[in-house]
Structure 1
Amino acid sequence: MHLLFAIAAALAVCVLPAQAAKEVFAHFLVGNANAFTFAEWQHDMQLAKAASIDGFSLNIAAQDSHNGASLATAFQAADSTGFKLFFSFDYAAQGAWPKDQVIALVNQYASHATYFKPDGTGKPLVTTFEGAGSAADWPSIKAATHCFFMPEWTSIGPRAAAAAANNVADGLASWNAWPVGATNMTTAPDTAFRAALNDNKPYMMPASPWFYTNLPAYGKNWLWRGDQLWDTRWQQIIAQQPDYVQVLTWNDLGESHYIGPVPPGPATSRLFAAAGAPLNYALHNPHDGWRALLPYYIQQYKTGGGGGRNSNAKMIAQDKLVMYYRVNPARACSAAGTTGNNPAFGQAAVPPDQMAADRVFYAALLDAPADVSVAIGGKVYKGVLSPPASGGASGVYTGSVPFAGRLGAVAVAVSRGGKTLVEVEGPGITTACQNGVENWNAVALSAP
């Protein structure tokens, strides 16, 4: 967590046409899928397509011996589904990539029909996870592969990233998807990236629903605020209209920002055991609910936002409801050293309960106002649905209610005129914690 000046300059001048299609990708950790079969790759791609995601950004680590087999299977599955893929070379997980290996992989797969190439360029898109220290490798990599290079060098800042290696980047991707402290996410980081690119090179804007990690073997144990982040961020994307969007992530269980399915027990358990985690905080915490509203959000993004009752209503085929919450109230059990914010990034550490509220959050896609009620432990409480950001009567309504000391099963119901439109039920809020350790991850469910 991330010479050949004449050739570099010639390659850098190619930017996306003004009318290039917008695309949404999900960051996919290939290392977390090294045992995936063709059917499992195909299944995840079909789920992503159903959520209106255009492709996966394949995160590959330099020393992963499974890369060859995994990538071959992934591209076979992509062929069968019409799904797009491109490489994100991870320079942080297992060290820097040797440039000859980067060149070989890009040239091996770039001609593949499902390898993503930005409109009007004919060039294979390549990005990174960090690796700014290897920026000088990229002029020669670009010369050898003719790739369209959009690195993620967030750690050195937008201006330094844009200027690195004689402006080698054709655009930039950002990893700045979570707010610091108890504040809500803003678009200030995105504005800084676009300014560094002079608004004439493409920008890949990040979106993420959550962040919590407790992996001692990797020195990771912190959380960032996720309350209301998913809807807030998509409304910002709709307003900002970036060239691309990257969802962080599809399957990073260790950082709790996955929106794909959690693999069966043994596969997930091995991941957390290998990292020395004091609890398996993903196993019974599905995040599938966060995909439910993506078709609407993505259509809004791709059509420029629309706005107003009529334009939004045409995009709403049926009412949908998402709810998410943590099953352990704050301070119910040991925090096991988890901090709010990450001091290693120069952020002031705060108690995690100051950043993650004990509340049941919900978001409903509706074509008109409605009522909402939340039941915790069988007791029903009336909630509030705040109107859509578009200002119209149709769109995504949001809200939350506090735990207020209540325990037990959770259910959220949306109704109109006394008739239930849609309802979601979820696991109980409990003070019984796995291994006596607080789980700061969330469960996210949806209906229908």
Structure 2
Amino acid sequence: MPLQSEELGKHKLSLYQSNLNFCTEAESFDEAQRVDLFVTRQWIRILLWEYTIRRFSMSCRLEDQAFSLLLPITIAHEMLSLFHAVSESSIQLHGYGMVQPVTPGSGHAELDIDQARSLGIEAFALNVGQPDADWARSTIGQLFAHASRSDFKLFFSLDFYQNGDINAYNGILTDFLGHPAYLRAGPYNHPVVSTFSVGQYGPEQFRDWKVNSWGNSIYFIPNADRSVGYNNPPSWFEAWNQAVEGVFGWESAWPESGTSPANVSDAVDIAVQNAAHRNGKTYMAPLSSLQYKDCCGANYYRIGEANLPEKMMQLLNLNPDFVEILTWNDAGESHYIGNNWPEGLTPEMLAYSNNEEWSHRAWQPLIASWIAAYKSNKDSGGMTPPAGSQAIGAMWYRTIPTNAPCAGGRKPDNWQSALDAVNYAVVVAPDSAGIVIRVISAGQVISEKRAAAGLNYGSVPGMRLGSQRIELVNGDSVVQVAAGSKDVVADDSACNFNYQVVELK
């Protein structure tokens, strides 16, 4: 290369590096946008450095970073400093999905990813309990193929309730941990692996598995809230410190099972996250609506009512490192927010959780608003509807009262914890604060409440037989409505404790 041309090339590379490390427009961005822009710029700086080192002489001095062998170390320090300063919520948010049979060519796997991504969800945790089944491999392949066409990510949650042999999952992990669409996290950018329970294993067995099978190069964040000692988080992390990078909660998504109404608590979330952070670990908190199951030999209810918005408020205050939404498609336990494709479900599941009669998609606008607030490190008062909308939200209710005889059939365990209530969550724009949320049951107004900006929610007792409805009222005008299509009836032999979820329109 001629000297003049070489000097010009070096000047341009130095200028490019300098410009990439200087960003004035980022001041107007929210936290998630700043993180995205920063990481993209540092990635480009590394690519330029790799180009430079192949063509020019380099040194260990930092006077001109573009030609310093130490530049990657500098970038690494800057990345770690940023990730320490911002909430990890600006980086990751996941939805928990059951791996079920999905017909190839149906578009179902693709639609699930596209819909989740449109809400702001960044990854699916794929619950896998039969890793070698042909249908599981087919569904997983469809999901990874479509995820690779966007920035959406996937990772495995090993279901030890279905298959308790940890080595049974090694094959599928080997096949997919290196996939471009597989989620990575942590300072070493390792592939994320989670679990549903820890099965028969303790910290020593998991540590040995990580080292012997994966060279200690996975970001392991198991669901361990049924493990020995978990109720004492400081001592639990002392015992598990060498086995995990973090921990994922499940049980704290709802109140404890019982026979009386109760509100969800964040005490466990707070205690576990505090202990995790003191040990340099992370916490993945759960967010969910209810549990109701009437299949597979089980029949129980775990209180929903206002659980979803109440937990939303708690997690915005806690600002956990990660959040996992429970779930995208667990039809069996009724806490889905996405699609329940019939090819993957039994007739008894579809009887109380099919897409046509028992869809929960009306919760999705609420979820999207919450995700935006979480990524921006705002509290529930900072939740907003989309630009140009004065409010979004949903109403939900059961179609039988708690005293329904169920035609002599069996009520779910813990049915006594349920309330005869009309539940709602409404997110109001700042310039629409003051509108009234009116709750109407069987034509009678049972509640009127003036709304504040941000998240408003309630579980209004006094639900009557008949139609259910909420209205947003501005002065003398009804401006938005959620009207149920199923009436509450005195009895139903199916004794379905799932919710009708209706979008505010």
TM-score, scaled relative to structure 1: 0.82
Structure 1 position 421 matched with structure 2 position 479: yes
Report the 3-state secondary structure (helix = DSSP H, G, I; strand = E; otherwise coil) of the residue aligned with 2:109: helix
Task: Supply the AA of the counterpart residue of 1:71.
Answer: I
* TM-fit CA distance, 1:115: 0.8
Q: How many aligned residue pairs are there? A: 401
Matches within 5 A, 1:123-272: 123-135=190-202, 136-143=204-211, 144-145=213-214, 146-156=217-227, 157-158=229-230, 159=233, 162-163=237-238, 167-176=242-251, 177-180=253-256, 181=258, 182-199=261-278, 200-215=280-295, 217-218=296-297, 220-264=298-342, 267=343, 271-272=346-347
**Other-structure match for 1:401:** 460
* TM-fit CA distance, 1:208: 0.5
Instruction: Check the 8 A contact 2:372/2:383 in 1, yes or no.
Output: no
**Other-structure match for 1:42:** 110
Instruction: Check the 8 A contact 1:316/1:366 in 2, yes or no.
Output: no
**Other-structure match for 1:437:** 494
**1 CA distance for matches of 2:126 and 2:380?**
34
**2 CA distance for matches of 1:179 and 1:329?**
21
Distance 1:74 1:224, change over 3 A: same
Instruction: Check the 8 A contact 2:101/2:136 in 1, yes or no.
Output: no
Q: 2:439 aligns with which of 364, 371, 374?
A: 374
Q: Which has the higher contact order (CA 8 A, sep 6+)?
A: 1
Distance 1:332 1:306, change over 3 A: closer
Instruction: Check the 8 A contact 1:154/1:161 in 2, yes or no.
Output: no
Task: Supply the AA of the counterpart residue of 1:128.
Answer: T
Report the 3-state secondary structure (helix = DSSP H, G, I; strand = E; otherwise coil) of the residue aligned with 2:110: helix
* TM-fit CA distance, 1:422: 1.5
* TM-fit CA distance, 1:380: 4.0
Give per-residue Cα distances to partners, 1:192-214, cap 9 Å, x unaligned.
Answer: 32244244210000011111112
**1 CA distance for matches of 2:392 and 2:315?**
21
Instruction: Check the 8 A contact 1:330/1:438 in 2, yes or no.
Output: no
**Other-structure match for 2:155:** 86
Matches within 5 A, 1:269-288: 271-273=346-348, 280-283=351-354, 284-288=357-361
Task: Supply the AA of the counterpart residue of 1:360.
Answer: V
**1 CA distance for matches of 2:312 and 2:98?**
22
5+ residue gaps, structure 2, are: 1-79
**1 CA distance for matches of 2:418 and 2:330?**
20
Report the 3-state secondary structure (helix = DSSP H, G, I; strand = E; otherwise coil) of the residue aligned with 2:341: coil
Q: 2:421 aligns with which of 359, 384, 396?
A: 359
Q: Going by fraction, where is helix more abundant, 1 or 2?
A: 2
Report percent identity of matched pairs.
25
Task: Supply the AA of the counterpart residue of 2:477.
Answer: K
**1 CA distance for matches of 2:144 and 2:410?**
41
Q: 2:372 aligns with which of 275, 287, 299?
A: 299
Instruction: Check the 8 A contact 2:291/2:302 in 1, yes or no.
Output: yes
**1 CA distance for matches of 2:352 and 2:201?**
34
Give per-residue Cα distances to partners, 1:41-72, cap 9 Å, x unaligned.
Answer: 11011111122111100000036612222211
**Other-structure match for 1:110:** 177
Instruction: Check the 8 A contact 1:413/1:422 in 2, yes or no.
Output: yes
* TM-fit CA distance, 1:140: 3.7
* TM-fit CA distance, 1:384: 2.7
**2 CA distance for matches of 1:195 and 1:67?**
37
Instruction: Check the 8 A contact 2:94/2:324 in 1, yes or no.
Output: yes
**1 CA distance for matches of 2:241 and 2:282?**
17
**2 CA distance for matches of 1:196 and 1:128?**
20
| Higher alpha-carbon deviation: 204-213 or 138-147 | 138-147
**1 CA distance for matches of 2:264 and 2:126?**
26
Distance 1:17 1:321, change over 3 A: closer
Give per-residue Cα distances to partners, 1:243-298, cap 9 Å, x unaligned.
Answer: 0001111111111111112335xx47x5144xxx7x92213211112211122211
* TM-fit CA distance, 1:418: 1.9
Instruction: Check the 8 A contact 1:414/1:422 in 2, yes or no.
Output: yes
**1 CA distance for matches of 2:313 and 2:240?**
34
Report the 3-state secondary structure (helix = DSSP H, G, I; strand = E; otherwise coil) of the residue aligned with 1:121: coil
**Other-structure match for 2:92:** 23
5+ residue gaps, structure 1, are: 1-13, 341-351, 388-392
* TM-fit CA distance, 1:307: 7.0
* TM-fit CA distance, 1:330: 1.4
Q: 1:53 aligns with which of 121, 136, 139?
A: 121
Task: Supply the AA of the counterpart residue of 2:424.
Answer: Y
Distance 1:86 1:191, change over 3 A: same
**1 CA distance for matches of 2:199 and 2:166?**
14
Cα RMSD between the aligned structures? 2.7
Instruction: Check the 8 A contact 2:400/2:491 in 1, yes or no.
Output: yes
Instruction: Check the 8 A contact 1:56/1:86 in 2, yes or no.
Output: yes
Instruction: Check the 8 A contact 2:437/2:450 in 1, yes or no.
Output: no
Task: Supply the AA of the counterpart residue of 2:139.
Answer: S
Distance 1:357 1:105, change over 3 A: same
Give per-residue Cα distances to partners, 1:406-425, cap 9 Å, x unaligned.
Answer: 32232221121222221112
* TM-fit CA distance, 1:322: 0.6
* TM-fit CA distance, 1:313: 5.8
Instruction: Check the 8 A contact 1:323/1:360 in 2, yes or no.
Output: yes
**Other-structure match for 2:39:** none
Report the 3-state secondary structure (helix = DSSP H, G, I; strand = E; otherwise coil) of the residue aligned with 1:423: strand
**Other-structure match for 2:468:** 410
Instruction: Check the 8 A contact 1:203/1:244 in 2, yes or no.
Output: yes
Instruction: Check the 8 A contact 2:393/2:503 in 1, yes or no.
Output: yes
**2 CA distance for matches of 1:120 and 1:38?**
38
* TM-fit CA distance, 1:357: 0.8
Report the 3-state secondary structure (helix = DSSP H, G, I; strand = E; otherwise coil) of the residue aligned with 1:385: strand
Distance 1:139 1:222, change over 3 A: same
**2 CA distance for matches of 1:358 and 1:299?**
32
**2 CA distance for matches of 1:28 and 1:106?**
17
Instruction: Check the 8 A contact 2:385/2:427 in 1, yes or no.
Output: no
Q: Which consecutive aligned stretches of 4+ in structure 1 deviate over 6 angstroms post-superposition?
A: none
Q: 1:331 aligns with which of 403, 424, 449?
A: 403
| Higher alpha-carbon deviation: 192-201 or 250-259 | 192-201
